[in-house]
Amino acid sequence: MSDYQAMQAELTGAIAAASNLDALEALRVAALGKAGSITGLLKTLGGMSPEERQSVGPQIHALREIVTAALAERKAALEGAALEAKLAGERLDMTLPAAATPRGSVHPVSQVMDELAEIFADMGFAVATGPEIEDDWHNFTALNIPETHPARAMHDTFYFPDANAEGQKMLLRTHTSPVQIRTMMSQEPPIRIIAPGRVYRSDSDATHTPMFHQVEGLVIDRGIHMGHLKWTLETFLKAYFETDDIVLRLRPSYFPFTEPSAEVDVGYRQEKGRRIVGGNGDDEGHAWMELLGSGMVNRRVIANCGLDPDVWQGFAFGVGVDRLAMLKYGMDDLRAFFDGDLRWLAHYGFGALSVPTLSGGISA
Ligand code: DAH
């Protein structure tokens, strides 16, 4: 066995036996580093005669290549084993019960939207959505609010500086009612939807924020009348406020997209500075509070969506979600909803794991 072969056997043996990456690196430096044994051999080539170099050179180069390959192979093996060990150490048992005190909480607006979805799902309503950046036609014109209508001024609309490709003015939707239009244009009746979401108006004080939340309701079917509307709202409010003692008062009103239109008041009483929903507003110690807008969908709106108003009728309603949350859970300043104050969220927020269900209790 030549000296080179002996060296090769010794080095590859040591490399195969290296038990970790540090030991392997020490071996690499000892053989191939600046002062390494193979490096030293390579340096001797310069001082050799051409004949000697021709016979010894290939052997030294072969030694270097074999040792380099052995180092790489062992390194890959050791790294693979290290990764396996790391993965094994990081394994999670997904069947373990959740932490007893989960961090974070569900915002009251999300909670109320979940409650509404649950309540209306039980009555056969699906949840529909639409874009928050709307065009003028869906937000106003199709809802029978023409260009010159004073309601446009009342909505304090945020407009975008540029029109869209069709020359439509673009805006932040001022209400969830455009989802009525989008739903009627994309679905065949019968339709039963609620549409919760963000809406925007240029308005700000203790009871108004530039962004707030509404939920829209829409039913389109044959032979729908105001009785269906009243029953639906009563059933919804009883489930939401978790009391059967809900008395509604429908007051004639006006909305361009409904005819006839009704504003819906609910009876309440004052207790320790808080409004408690329930009871007849005309009874002793009670009063009426305006809660939502509603009505029979205007024939013109149905026709604007390409449906025949002689065949299809329906009702619609719209209500402020933040307002519903404040009434049920007792907050008094709307602005706090959107401050992102963790103390407020810790106080008013809901457990991430307590999902509202009709069977289990709607407010969880
Ligand atoms: N869109 C109205 C608003 O934001 C609320 C409303 C009233 C919606 C009556 C309706 C409705 O669907 O029928 O002021």
Question: Which of the four CATH numbers 3.40.50.10800, 3.30.930.10, 3.40.50.11540, 3.40.190.80 does domain 108-347 have?
Answer: 3.30.930.10
**Dihedrals phi, psi of 59, to nearest 5 degrees:** -65, -40
Residue 322: pLDDT above 70?
Answer: yes
Question: Is residue 144 lining ligand 1, measured as CB closer than 6 Å?
Answer: no
Question: Is residue 118 lining ligand 1, measured as CB closer than 6 Å?
Answer: no
Give the pLDDT band of residue 150 (cuts 50, 70, 90).
confident
Give the pLDDT band of residue 239 (cuts 50, 70, 90).
very high
Please name the residue that has the structure tokens 């925007």: 200
CA atoms of 165 and 187, how far apart (whole Å):
25
Residue 245 DSSP SS3 = coil
CA atoms of 42 and 237, how far apart (whole Å):
90
Torsion (CA) 303, 307, 312, 317 in degrees, nearest 10: -60
Per-residue CA distances from 210 to 103, 108, 202, 204, 337 (Å): 29, 18, 5, 6, 12
Between 24-38, 147-161, 213-227, 230-244, the lowest mean confidence (pLDDT) is in 147-161
Residue 70 DSSP class: H
β-sheet bridge partners, residue 270: 275
Question: Is residue 177 lining ligand 1, measured as CB closer than 6 Å?
Answer: yes
CA atoms of 221 and 296, how far apart (whole Å):
12
Per-residue CA distances from 194 to 190, 218, 252 (Å): 14, 6, 23
Do 280 and 269 meet the contact criterion of CB atoms below 8 Å apart?
no
Q: For ligand 1, atom 8, which residue shows the shortest CA distance?
A: 318
Mean pLDDT for the stretch of residues 261-278: 94
CA atoms of 290 and 248, how far apart (whole Å):
10
What residues does each domain of the chain span?
Answer: 2-87, 108-347
Give the pLDDT band of residue 1 (cuts 50, 70, 90).
low
Mean pLDDT for the stretch of residues 211-227: 97
pLDDT exceeding 90 applies to what percent of the chain?
Answer: 77
Question: Is residue 139 lining ligand 1, measured as CB closer than 6 Å?
Answer: no
- How confident is the prediction for the chain on average, in pLDDT? 92
CA of 131 to the centre of ligand 1 (A): 17
Instruction: Evaluate the CA torsion angle 187, 192, 198, 203 in order and state its sign.
Output: positive
Question: Is residue 178 lining ligand 1, measured as CB closer than 6 Å?
Answer: no
pLDDT of residue 354: 74
Which token pair is 118? 């649950």
Which token pair is 15? 């490399």
β-sheet bridge partners, residue 192: 219
Do 112 and 328 meet the contact criterion of CB atoms below 8 Å apart?
yes
Q: For ligand 1, atom 13, which residue shows the shortest CA distance?
A: 294
Residues 14-64: tens digit of each pLDDT: 999 999 999 999 999 999 999 999 999 999 988 999 999 898 999 999 999
CA of 301 to the centre of ligand 1 (A): 13
171 contact partners, CB below 8 Å, separation of at least 6: 133, 134, 135, 136, 139, 157, 158, 159, 160
CA angle 158, 133, 177 (to 5 degrees): 85
pLDDT of residue 119: 96
Task: Choose one of 134, 154, 175 to mutate for the ligand 1 pocket test, by most ligand atoms within 8 angstroms of C-beta.
Answer: 175
CA atoms of 40 and 243, how far apart (whole Å):
92
Question: Is residue 258 lining ligand 1, measured as CB closer than 6 Å?
Answer: yes
pLDDT exceeding 70 applies to what percent of the chain?
Answer: 98
Question: Is residue 315 lining ligand 1, measured as CB closer than 6 Å?
Answer: no
Give the pLDDT band of residue 364 (cuts 50, 70, 90).
low
CA atoms of 242 and 118, how far apart (whole Å):
13
Residue 208: pLDDT above 90?
Answer: no
Residue 88 identity: A
Residue 154: pLDDT above 70?
Answer: no
- Report the atom number in ligand 1 closest to the C-alpha of 297: 13
- Report the atom number in ligand 1 closest to the C-alpha of 175: 4
pLDDT of residue 353: 73
Residues 113-141: tens digit of each pLDDT: 999 999 999 999 999 999 999 999 999 99
Question: Is residue 197 lining ligand 1, measured as CB closer than 6 Å?
Answer: no
Question: Is residue 323 lining ligand 1, measured as CB closer than 6 Å?
Answer: no
**Pairing relationship of beta strands 191-200 and 313-320 according to DSSP bridges:** unpaired
CA atoms of 226 and 218, how far apart (whole Å):
13
CA of 193 to the centre of ligand 1 (A): 14
Mean pLDDT for the stretch of residues 197-222: 92
- Report the atom number in ligand 1 closest to the C-alpha of 214: 4
Per-residue CA distances from 285 to 251, 265, 269, 279, 290 (Å): 21, 16, 6, 10, 17
Question: Is residue 293 lining ligand 1, measured as CB closer than 6 Å?
Answer: yes
Residue 248 DSSP SS3 = strand
CA of 89 to the centre of ligand 1 (A): 57
pLDDT of residue 359: 75
Do 59 and 4 meet the contact criterion of CB atoms below 8 Å apart?
yes
Residue 102: pLDDT above 80?
Answer: no
Question: Is residue 183 lining ligand 1, measured as CB closer than 6 Å?
Answer: no
Q: For ligand 1, atom 6, which residue shows the shortest CA distance?
A: 318
CA of 364 to the centre of ligand 1 (A): 29
Count other Cβ atoms within 10 Å, centred on residue 42: 15
pLDDT of residue 258: 98
Residues 344-358: tens digit of each pLDDT: 998 998 887 777 787
Do 250 and 221 meet the contact criterion of CB atoms below 8 Å apart?
no
